[in-house]
Structure 1
Amino acid sequence: MGAVAIVDLAAGPEFGYLPLLALGPAFAALHYGARRIVLIGLIAFVLCIVLAAYDNVLGHRQDNLTLASIIGVTSASALAGARRQQRERELATVRTVAEVAQRVLPRPVPRSAGPLLIAVNYTSAAAEARIGGDLYEVVITPFGVRILIGDVQGKGLGAVETAAGVLGAFREAAYDEADLPGVVNRLEKSLSRTLSGEKFVTAALAQFGDDHVTLVDCGHPPPLILGRDGDLRLVEPEEPSPPLGMTDLADAPPRPYQVPFSPGDQMLFYTDGVIEARDDAGTFYPLLDRAGVLRSSEAEQALRDLEADLVRHTGGPIADDAAMLLVRRR
């Protein structure tokens, strides 16, 4: 509006820039509430009267139409601004409820289990629908500590419902089945009754022994081992397996594999929201190069440091949910 006033004063009355003053309240509707829009409209109205008097067109038919236009645009913009703010408040409430549901769905994991120290970090996405299907669980069973981390394909309430079903089936099977393939089989049977179409769930299961860990990977990103001696490596299976919900398509069921896990070692489980986070140039987050931030003496602080480093890489909120679970052997 200031620019319009300056141009009008410089150009003179014959060019008729006064109708452009209505752009003020129109653009204000994009950012402000009804009160501020009305205030901006009032400023535009007064400014139009002052400029019309300066141009000697005050009271003319064209000037009256300009004033009427400013009143009409201000009224419509105030109504639009009020409705936009109401929708923003509703969306904020939905986001909060969705994020709480996402965090409450997995139960709090034990911070320690025998010689193991356990920490979890969950980072919500910046998308409009923050609720997703990332899941994790830690269960202390007669067979040892068993861990599940997974990611349901898709977003929304359907993904959360599937995640809840996977967690419920795992909590039962982890106590009943003597080995991880039996747990995977129970999960597959449970999903066969609920999944439809080409839906699937990537998952990694682990069972910790005295000096080793047994893993089963069902299409999930491989866990990362940080050795006490500084060695960093991804623990990938020799034969990749399809995700849960699609294991029937494979020639053989997922096979477990073992890796050493000695005192002082730590293992990081994560979802694809971590390794698929991109910076402005489109570069994926280099987890292996940044894993050194996990050297903090406290497991929870180590995951907070990794989360902060992940956010620095993306330059802002991440585009997908990211769950991280860190296990340390004392």
Structure 2
Amino acid sequence: MITRNSASKEWLDTVMKSYKKNDPGIVEKTIMALTLLEQLSVEGLDFIFKGGTSLMLLLDSYNRFSLDIDILLPDKPKNLEYIFNRICNNGVFKSWFEDKRKTPSDVPKTHYGFVRESVLDGRERAVFLDILYQEVGTRSLLRVPVRHRVIETAPPDVLVTIQTLDALLGDKLTAFAPNTTGIPYGTGKEAEIIKQLFDLGVLFDNLADLDVVRKSFVQNCMFELGYRKLDLSEVDVLNDCIDTAITLAYRGAYKREQFSYLMTGIKAFKAFSFNSSFSLEDAIKSSAKVAYLVQLMKAGKGRHEKFRETIDLRDVNITNPSWNKLKKLKKTDPEAFFYLFNALKLIEQ
């Protein structure tokens, strides 16, 4: 379990020694988000923990902060308010409230804030819980303990149910599609688009089973298109993903307005990456992985090629003049070039 010490100024100061370039307010909110997650489980709520924050529990190498908790429930429990009150009676959070923000289309979501006094300045701040009411379906799931280096824990562990890495990869693809099922351009949420891209790059590096990715994507895509009442197919969403990836790879030479939104997102996202390290080059590398993944899925492939430093790219060339601007990546970023080359090869088959 997370210790009470994790909520103290002394613990935050200790954690900040490892994240000197980050805003302590963001780190504090991450600690509180994980605390809220654990409390939901302790109080008996049966949920699936989803979203980027769940990657903090799955991967030691995951390098971004997350400020809220996303969970999935099949329907609203009758005792939900009772559970929230119990959490606030435990002493870390003072109170809770429903955040009646607008939800796009008919997405069945509710939002709640849990309030506590910040150890930084004594002001009241909220950590948010987003609940999506949706069938569990055929999601690939596992149970993991609530543990991370930003929190201090002691036995016994508290377990939560989360999607596997491959299931999350398929799930998150639908969020990196700004013109269809994802976070739209021009809404002031450009950093959220880049968060999805960052997560997709991390998840791709851990890709094990394309079939699980595909099933998760198809299921989530069906829900998201339905909520938005869009008469589109899964292929339309995949095409949106790859178009967004190529927009980044072309550095403004293709779809300049969309690229400017994405650059705004990259700059804003730096505050959430560990020690504020995320650049356009990092985004292009992740985009190359997304482009390759999308083409693998469109082609119905069951396996993928993985970049290795020892791969000889001297005779690997992009010959189609339509993609000439991507050639320079061979020298500047061999990994991004490798994945884009393989994506283009599948496009042209």
TM-score range relative to shorter protein:
under 0.3
Give the TM-score of the pair, scaled to structure 1.
0.23
